[in-house]
Amino acid sequence: MRYLLLICCCSSLVFGGTDTKPKVEDYEVHGRAGNLGVGAEFTVHSFGRGEQMFIAQDYLVVEVALFPPKATNFEVHDGDFALRINGGKELLAASDVNLVIEDMQHPEFKPQTLPHAEVGGGVNGVGVTLGGPPMNRPFPGSTIPAPQPPPRVDIPKDDPSGVKTGPVDPYQLLKETALEEGQHHAPASGFLYFHFRGNVKSIKTLELVYQDTALKLR
């Protein structure tokens, strides 16, 4: 029993992400990419778990779920996902979660012009704006301001259990709920972050591009 318990604990440490819904059809948008079922939900700027929700203001956030056939392994990489905004030819690639956290902790380091992949590279042979904003680094001897937590979204809800939860580290939560990269042998889900400093109202159509599949999020 102790051996089994240890395995379960180790597994929870290795794999992150969100709580995957039972089937791909349970997601607002779903389709297939090869032998994988793909589900997605556009959460605009929000991420979290349960009633603990926060805002990543400079990122478009999409929860993605992948469903493989039984007894099938598959690889997950952030760079395999991109967004197409308003039908444009250029795609916006997902950002590395560590760069997202660094950017959110130090918004005073303003992003510069984003680099672009060569035409013919990227996702499905389409040019891609690389994920993660380059930042101005502080010069030697300068003082780095303390990291500021992302704004919290209050979700009022009755708690019949009366159990009070402790404070949540939003950056740790962001990392824990991000789509886990690497090999998986069971359905997996998590948040992806796409750097975007424009007005969300300007987005008329939005598609999540993965392999040869484009899921219409808006």
Q: Per the domain annotation, does 49 fall within a domain?
A: yes
**Tens-place pLDDT, residues 135-187:** 454 445 544 445 555 655 554 455 544 444 567 899 999 999 999 999 999 99
pLDDT digits (tens, 9 = 90+) for 64-122: 999 999 989 999 999 999 999 999 999 999 999 999 999 988 876 654 433 333 333 34
151 occurs within a structural domain = no
Higher local confidence (pLDDT), 147 or 9: 147
The total number of residues shown for the chain amounts to 218
Domain at 202, CATH number: 2.60.40
Is the full-model pTM beyond 0.75?
no
User: Has residue 186 been placed in a domain?
Assistant: yes
Q: Is residue 125 part of a domain?
A: yes
The 3 state secondary structure assigned to 20-64 is: CCCCHHHCCEEEEECCEEEEEEEEECEEEECCEEEECCCEEEEEE
Assess if residue 142 is contained within a domain.
Answer: no
* Buried b / exposed e along 146-177 (16+ C-beta atoms within 10 A): eeeebeeeeeeeeeeeeeeeeebebbebbebb
- Determine the pLDDT at residue 3: 36
Cα–Cα distance measured from residue 142 to residue 155, given in angstroms and rounded to the nearest whole number:
39
| 210 within a domain of the structure (yes/no) | yes
pLDDT for 4: 34
Whether residue 34 lies inside any domain: the answer is yes
Asked if residue 162 is part of any domain, the answer here is no
- Higher pLDDT: 34 or 167? It is 34
Element (H, E) at 6: helix 2-14
187 vs 100: CA distance, rounded Å: 24
The answer to whether the beta carbons of residues 180 and 13 sit under 8 Å apart is no
Could you give the number of structural domains in the chain?
1
| 87 contacts 93 by C-beta, under 8 angstroms | no
User: What would the two tokens of residue 152 be?
Assistant: 């919290």
Q: Does the CA dihedral 26-28-31-36 come out positive or negative?
A: negative
Q: Check if the beta carbon of residue 112 is closer than 8 Å to that of residue 134.
A: yes
Host domain of residue 175: 18-136+169-216
Give Cα separations from 20 to 59, 63, 64, 140, 142 (angstroms).
22, 10, 9, 45, 44
- pLDDT of amino acid 96: 95
Task: Judge contact between 80 and 211, C-beta under 8 A.
Answer: yes
